[in-house]
Amino acid sequence: MKVLVINGPNLNMLGIREPGIYGNDTLNDLIAEIRRTADRLGAEVDFFQNNSEGAIIDAIHGAFGKFDALIINPGAYTHYSYAIRDAIESVKLPCIEVHISNIHKREEFRHKSVTAPVCTGQIAGVGKIGYSLALEALVNGFEN
């Protein structure tokens, strides 16, 4: 299985931005952990991070025909990007939305995800391990 892991705005600042919420690990630390999980599962992973909505949409579109599934943390776009939502829906790939923090326990504007309804599932609030859990679910054939 070949999976594209997409991280949206501000995730390049992991380890610096609000460590009380997101922890001290950097994006590179997160990538290394996901790679270890992929190796254990016999999966291939590729990574994309961008702060721009259009670049994220292009990455989703580019995954069509090249990847078997997506893992996405849309960052703040989770709550208002219908364009990213539509891109996820258009490629018809299994997709799990991941959030390091529990978006449902934070500010009210973070409680609603406009992207989750077109995803296979959502994992939130378990820290960076959520990405590995998402990868395990996809490799093991989880379908909602």
Question: Which residues participate in catalysis according to the annotation?
Answer: 22, 99
Helix (H, G, I), strand (E, B) or coil at 123: strand
Q: How confident is the model at residue 25 (pLDDT cuts 50, 70, 90)?
A: confident
Closest by CA position to 77, among listed 92, 47, 97, 106: 97
CA distance 54 to 84: 8
Q: What is the pLDDT of residues 103-132, one digit of tens each?
A: 877 667 666 899 999 999 999 999 999 999
Angle at the Cα of 21 (from 39 to 88), degrees rounded to 5? Answer: 55
Whole-structure pTM value: 0.92
* End-to-end CA gap in the chain: 18
Give residue 137's identity as a one-letter amino acid code: A
Per the document, the length of the chain is: 144
